[in-house]
Amino acid sequence: MSISIKDAAGIEAMRKACRLAAQVLDAIAAHMKPGITTLEVDRLCAEQMALQGTRSATLGYQPPGYPPYPGHVCTSVNHVVCHGIPAAKPLKKGDIVNVDVTVITPEGWYGDTSRMFEIGECSIAARRLCQLTFESMWLGIGQVKPGARLGDIGHAIQKFAESHSLSVVREFCGHGIGQAFHEEPQVLHYGKPGTGEELAPGMIFTIEPMLNLGRRDIKELGDGWTIVTRDRSLSAQWEHTVLVTPTGYEVLTLSPGCQPQPALAAP
């Protein structure tokens, strides 16, 4: 499958979809406190999507070999790397949780973003992991410009993560997105500079590194979805959707509630 190049109308439709996805995360931020369950988080996200007129891309999503995904969003707590299923267990002080939102607009365009939330006062190690993962994402984003290569993105993330003694999950990656949830290209969060597809204006894809405090090894739980660190070390992930512009990049999933771009990754 070839990489889709969005025209002006497609880019504008993606700006809308990604803005709406980010607004779902803005809407839940004040609720992310000890005692809330991830089922309640899922319900709040679903309510915000209904207000927008969007719908969840994950609810009922069923790739070949998988059971239908049961949540409107993914909620990955502590050592859950990704695809955590919303549950009735209350979040407690010190937990970290990734909420991953993908909406579909009435016109059929997908917007995809995720954020880490710290529940109450967290440990220094947990806060550090969340912050460094956020910075690694932005370092990857900072590589995006016409003529750059996908490997430049992965290398920037991997070099930064490993310099801080964090490991990069290899089995999951960013992806192209548009009128389908997952399009080409695959955007690895590790790699060698100067390798991979050349970036061109109009490409839109996610950058969504998953970094672990311990080893990078993972395993899948019996529900067919939840991915955890094999050594039960903490894991964090951040995700933005990015457009390649004629001069660099545009982050489509920015919103008023987003954590500010770190100074070290300024273009």
* The CATH number, out of the four listed (3.40.109.10, 3.20.20.150, 3.90.230.10, 3.30.420.40), of the domain defined by the range 8-265: 3.90.230.10
Look up the pTM and report it: 0.96
- Residues with Cβ < 8 Å from 131, sequence gap 6 or more? none
Alpha-carbon distance of 86 to 40, in angstroms, equals 8
- CA–CA separation, 267 vs 256, rounded Å? 20
Neighbours of 90 (CB within 10 A): 14
Cα–Cα nearest to 73, from 121, 106, 38, 123:
38
Domain boundaries, the chain: 8-265
CB-based contacts of 38: which residues, under 8 Å, 6+ apart? 75, 77, 84, 86, 87, 89, 91, 97
**Structure confidence at residue 181 (pLDDT):** 97
Mean pLDDT of the chain: 97
Q: How far apart are CA 221 and CA 53, in angstroms?
A: 33
Return the pLDDT at 1: 61
Residue percentage of the chain with pLDDT more than 70: 98
Minimum mean pLDDT among 26-35, 115-124, 258-267: which range?
A: 258-267
Q: How confident is the model at residue 266 (pLDDT cuts 50, 70, 90)?
A: very low
Q: How remote is the C-alpha of 224 from its chain's centroid?
A: 20
Percent of the chain with pLDDT over 90: 97
